[in-house]
Amino acid sequence: MKLTIVGSGYVGLVSGTCFAEMGNDVWCVDIDEKKIEDLKKGIIPIYEPGLEEMVKRNYNEGRLRFTTNLKEGLDESLFMFIAVGTPPDEDGSADLKHVLGVAREIGQKMEKYCIIVNKSTVPVGTGERVRKAVREELEARNKPELEFDIVSNPEFLKEGDAIEDFMRADRVVVGTDNVRTAELMKELYDPFQRKGNKVLIMDILSSELTKYAANAMLATRISFMNELSMLCESCGADIERVREGIGSDSRIGRSFLFAGVGYGGSCFPKDVKAIIQTMKEHGFDAKVLNAVEEVNKDQRERFVDKVVGHFGEDLSGLTFGVWGLSFKPQTDDMREAPSIDIINNLKARGAVFKVHDPVAMEVAKSVLGNESIEYCANYYDVLRDVDALLLVTEWHQFRRPDFDKMKTLMKNAVIFDGRNQYELRRMEDRGFVYYSIGRAIVK
């Protein structure tokens, strides 16, 4: 089948490449000229495991093409996917200027029927706004007879596992108002459904809301565990044991129950804000989700409080090593990463840093700058003469480090672990002062 994906970021590039992998002809469009030129040369703008090889193969075999000219794709494609960003507006609602901009461009340039598929995360009701924007443009061109359909097909991939998530999705949600479009969407996703059909067809509004509901639910689980971690620290329980205790209940399940420094990234923070705003527009106070946000914000501050509790308010003259900067492992995405707030907060109290991230160093430099921060190529270099290590992102290589080597490098054997990577008993045996989340302090 022939399709175009407008927006070649995390979602657009991964989806486009996976559709091409299944034999479809795919145009990936972006307004960022450098991004498109780089992609044509095989330079991938983001870090996503397995993506580079897949992009190159599909590009070389001619199924994946890149352009800044939407019309090239539009003229050939049955499906026009919109996968551009929906960043938060000032009031927290999703800013739809990119989505509606693409809708208008399609309306200005289409010459034949197409199915406009919204893959961006958009507030409930956006499908209708897209339809209206396209219609207005067609009317302005005196071509109201040109037909199109609108579909909502939110994306649930996770950065770091994006290809696996797309190729073997738990489910594919398709919101549509007619049977014919539903059948065409099913046909497009058929090659991904060899082990059983997971396409859920529903109305457009429910599909749009499903995406926000999913992210809000996952964010809620994280904040719930973080709130409990506070109680654990106070009463002497261990959040890791509590997590195992509830996660083994099949009604609850094990995912997204890890206490830590809170959620970040390009989705949860903005999507929780956006659904809160949508509820406000509908006259409701989002009591649960407001609390989810507040707990998440507090959790970063509580991590800083642990450091301040140990070293005192004035941190001048102290150097902290930081392991992990991206908002989660296996990605270079720094959007809303907890590391940003934690470093900036401690920096304001006079601390300086040595930091390392396996892939996010370049992106981190553009976000955190160079002042008071030394970027180290190796994660052990971070430790030389530091007063403490802060483990902020749980990359695999940090799980079983050489603790003896760490102790010889560090000025003080003190670790603040924002991701509960190590066993308390072992840290005690190894002679570290060890702070983690929702567990006893090892001194």
Ligand X SMILES: NC(=O)c1ccc[n+]([C@@H]2O[C@H](COP(=O)([O-])OP(=O)(O)OC[C@H]3O[C@@H](n4cnc5c(N)ncnc54)[C@H](O)[C@@H]3O)[C@@H](O)[C@H]2O)c1
Which residue's structure tokens are 């946000």?
293
Q: Under the criterion CB under 6 A, does residue 85 sit at the interface with ligand X?
A: yes
Options 18, 28, 267, 376, the catalytic residue: 267
10 binds ligand X (CB under 6 A): yes
Pick between residue 8 and residue 326 the one whose CB is nearest to ligand X: 8
Looking at 5, 7, 212, 391, which residue binds ligand X (CB under 6 A)? 7
Contact 15, 83 (CB under 8 A): yes
Pick the closer one to ligand X by CB: 233 or 336.
336
Q: Which one, of 175, 179, 242, lies nearest residue 213 by Cα?
A: 175
Distances (CA, A) of 262 to 72, 341, 420, 442: 43, 11, 12, 22
Residue of minimal CB distance from ligand X? 9
Angle at 131 between CA 124 and CA 212, to 5 degrees: 20
Q: Is residue 83 a contact point for ligand X (CB under 6 A)?
A: yes
Q: Which is nearer to ligand X, 120 or 210 (CB)?
A: 120
**328 part of the interface to ligand X, by CB under 6 A:** no
CB 122 within 8 A of CB 157: no
Binding test (CB under 6 A) with ligand X, winner from 4, 5, 8, 47: 8
30 lies in the binding site for ligand X (CB under 6 A): yes
What string marks each residue from 234 to 273 as x (binds ligand X by CB under 6 A) or -?
A: --------------------------------xx------
Least Å distance, CB 187 to ligand X, is 23
Q: Which of 11, 133, 360, 383 binds ligand X (CB under 6 A)?
A: 11
Question: What residues are paired with 173 via a beta bridge?
Answer: 200
293 lies in the site for ligand X, by CB under 6 A: no
* Closer to ligand X by Cβ: residue 48 or 387: 48
> Residues with Cβ < 8 Å from 217, sequence gap 6 or more?
none
Q: Name the residue nearer to ligand X (CB basis): 28 or 376.
A: 28
Rounded CA gap, 422 and 278, in Å?
A: 40
Which residues in 142-201 contact ligand X (CB under 6 A)?
A: 155, 157, 159
Sheet holding 172-175, edge to edge: 64-67, 25-29, 2-6, 79-82, 114-118, 148-152, 172-175, 199-202
- Examine residue 98 and tell whether it contacts ligand X (CB under 6 A): yes
Does residue 219 bind ligand X (CB under 6 A)? no
CB 269 within 8 A of CB 275: no
Query: Count of H helices and E strands in the chain?
Result: 16, 14
Q: Hey, which residues between 107 and 136 contact ligand X (CB under 6 A)? A: 120-121
Contacts with ligand X, 33-52, as mask; x by CB under 6 A: --x-----------------
Does residue 6 bind ligand X (CB under 6 A)? yes
Which SS3 state, helix, strand or coil, does residue 368 take? helix
Q: Identify the three-state secondary structure at position 251.
A: coil
**For residues 148 and 375, which CB has a smaller minimum distance to ligand X in the complex?**
148
Look at the block and give the residue holding tokens 């939407």. Answer: 70
Residue 267 among the catalytic residues: yes
Stretch that binds ligand X, among 97-105, 140-148, 294-302, 424-432 (CB under 6 A): 97-105
Q: Would you say 6 or 409 has its CB closer to ligand X?
A: 6
Question: Rounded to the nearest 5°, which phi and psi values hold at 359?
Answer: -135, -15
Q: Nearest 5°: phi and psi at 299? A: -65, -35
Q: Tell me how many residues contact ligand X (CB under 6 A).
A: 26
CA angle 151, 7, 334 (to 5 degrees): 115
92 binding ligand X? (CB under 6 A):
no
* Surface-to-core class of residue 363, CB atoms within 10 Å of its CB (0-12 exposed, 13-18 middle, 19+ buried): buried
Q: Of 31, 78, 201, 246, which one interacts with ligand X (CB under 6 A)?
A: 31
Please provide the distance, in angstroms rounded to a whole number, between the alpha carbons at the two ends of the chain: 62
DSSP of 172-193, one letter per residue?
EEEE-S-HHHHHHHHHHHGGG-
CB of 85: closest distance to ligand X in angstroms? Answer: 4
By beta-carbon proximity to ligand X, the closer residue of 156 and 403 is: 156
**Among residues 3, 18, 29, 325, which is the contact residue for ligand X, using CB under 6 A?**
29
Positions annotated as catalytic residues are: 267
Query: For binding to ligand X (CB under 6 A), which residues are involved?
Result: 6-12, 29-32, 35, 83-86, 98, 101-102, 120-121, 155, 157, 159, 266-267
